[in-house]
Amino acid sequence: MAQRRRRSSISRMEDLPPISPPHDIAVMTNLVSQLLKALGESPGRNGLLKTPERVAKALLFMTKGYHEDIERLLNGALFPIEYDEMVIVKDIDFFSMCEHHLLPFFGKCHVGYLPNKKVVGLSKIPRVVDAFARRLQVQERLTTQIAETLKRKLDAHGVAVVMEARHLCMMMRGVEKQNTLAVTSSMLGAFRTQDQTRNEFLKLIRRNAVGEA
């Protein structure tokens, strides 16, 4: 049943691994234990006894977006409406993991769209962000996936997504740049073709607080 549902969803289209949590946890626990040994640690010492299983469970949680059914999430939350002004949900916190180092990157995501006879429940937008963020990602692809999915599901006149993130793989290793913010954007439809629309969105996401001009 679960298999059939995934077949029609985005996650199935991206050819993602099947779900088998108990088995995965056992396999991963064993691997983390070996990893600890390779690092020169003793997995048997008191502080580390439960670490492999904790790490396995944490990793499964941080990649649970693979198993989110985004189609179903959005299908139940679309409403017909005549409203055709820009809708913006900004400052959405997100946490993801870079697929090159398996280290976190995290920050804020801003989403805007121009409705075309239907809108989506506002709370669903952060859930779409989460579903794509909680996977192994690169920030550029994450940004595009959110924008393209919303564009397609909402049939919107345009969708804009801007993501600002700090990457621990840059902060803790390599170039060790502590304050670097990586910014990516995906502008589709009217946000790509009309400067005025794009600029209005960019201006609105720069405003700091409710009521502030």
Q: Contact residues for Zn ion (CB under 5 A)?
A: 98, 100-101, 169
Indicate which residue of 67, 98, 145, 157 is catalytic: 98
Cβ proximity to Zn ion: between 101 and 117 the closer is: 101
Indicate which residue of 53, 169, 194, 200 is catalytic: 169
Does the active-site annotation cover 157? Answer: no
Does the active-site annotation cover 110? Answer: no
- E strands, the chain, in order: 78-80, 87-98, 104-114, 118-120, 136-137, 158-167, 182-189
Report CA-CA distances (Å) from 144 to 45, 148, 159.
44, 6, 10
Does the active-site annotation cover 109? Answer: no
Does the active-site annotation cover 137? Answer: no
Does the active-site annotation cover 67? Answer: no
Whole-number minimum distance, CB 26 to Zn ion, in Å?
A: 28
What is the longest distance spanned by two Cα atoms in the chain?
Answer: 64
Whole-number minimum distance, CB 103 to Zn ion, in Å?
A: 6
Structure tokens at 173: 């290793």
Cβ proximity to Zn ion: between 55 and 182 the closer is: 182
Whole-number minimum distance, CB 180 to Zn ion, in Å?
A: 12
Closest by Cα among 133, 102, 132 to 28: 102
CB count within 10 Å of CB 101 equals 15
Cβ proximity to Zn ion: between 32 and 98 the closer is: 98
Active centre residues (catalytic): 98-101, 139, 167, 169
